[in-house]
Amino acid sequence: AQRVTQPEKLLSVFKGAPVELKCNYSYSGSPELFWYVQYSRQRLQLLLRHISRESIKGFTADLNKGETSFHLKKPFAQEEDSAMYYCALRDRSGTYKYIFGTGTRLKVLA
Amino acid sequence: GEEVAQTPKHLVRGEGQKAKLYCAPIKGHSYVFWYQQVLKNEFKFLISFQNENVFDETGMPKERFSAKCLPNSPCSLEIQATKLEDSAVYFCASSQLKGGELFFGEGSRLTVL
């Protein structure tokens, strides 16, 4: 079954500390992975996608097919990174629906 | 419009009453998705449209839930005879292309008493 797992509901780190938000997936086929973010009082929005291999706001994520993971990382957390982060997998079998994880709330402490 | 617009923001219904939610996708976006989020948990996929055609309805409960996207009208999600477990935030998202980036609305919070 297709599934996205984010094991941490809440992650608290101090400003300047490294951050890693974990995401594991199960999918039979070649997956397409994304990270979406929801800042306080804002809409859910795309942060980054694995195919573009880009760094957005200092965040990167590498798709590891062997470990079926797509962890989100940032070397030095900022207070403005505090938000809800959702890992998502897009079903490429034809319907293109997104399957979301349950989300991780990141709190960056001053 | 430039953003996905969902109405109403909040809706309260007594058990057994009907609820109807609306979504105006971004102009030019052909794909519309509906998701249900219960108690800030995972987003459960309900249904997607390509223009006015149902694209994928595998997540829709067979009874009580229906959805439409008609030309020149907002898309709608209707729940007949609401139940307590229908209480959730319903999100609409649109994308320009099949497999394109999803743009989300702010969600409609349905509370069933």
CATH of the domain at B50: 2.60.40.10
The secondary structure of chain B, three-state, reads CCCCEEECCEEEECCCCCEEEEEECCCCCCEEEEEEECCCCCEEEEEEEECCEEEECCCCCCCCEEEECCCCCCEEEEECCCCHHHCEEEEEEEECCCCCCCEECCCEEEEEC
Domain that holds residue A41: 3-109
- Give the domain CATH number at A74: 2.60.40.10
* pLDDT score at B28: 92
Distance of CA B41 to the CA centre of its chain: 17
The answer to whether residue B1 scores a pLDDT higher than 70 is no
Largest Cα span, chain B: 38
Collect all residues with Cβ–Cβ distance below 8 Å to A90 and sequence separation of at least 6.
A31, A32, A33, A34, A96, A97, A98, A99, B99
Over residues B50-77, the mean pLDDT reads 93
Domain with B17, as residue range(s), is 5-112
Number of structural domains (chain B) is: 1
Contact residues, chain B, for A97 at CB < 8 Å: 33, 45, 48, 56, 58-59
Mean pLDDT, 10 residues at a time, chain A of 110 residues: 92 97 90 92 91 86 92 97 95 81 95
Closest CA to A100 of B64, B78, B33: B33
Q: Please determine, for residue B98, whether its predicted confidence score (pLDDT) is greater than 90.
A: no
Chain A residues with CB under 8 Å of B102 CB are 36, 46, 98
Of B48, B101, B105, the CB nearest to A95: B48
pLDDT at B47: 95
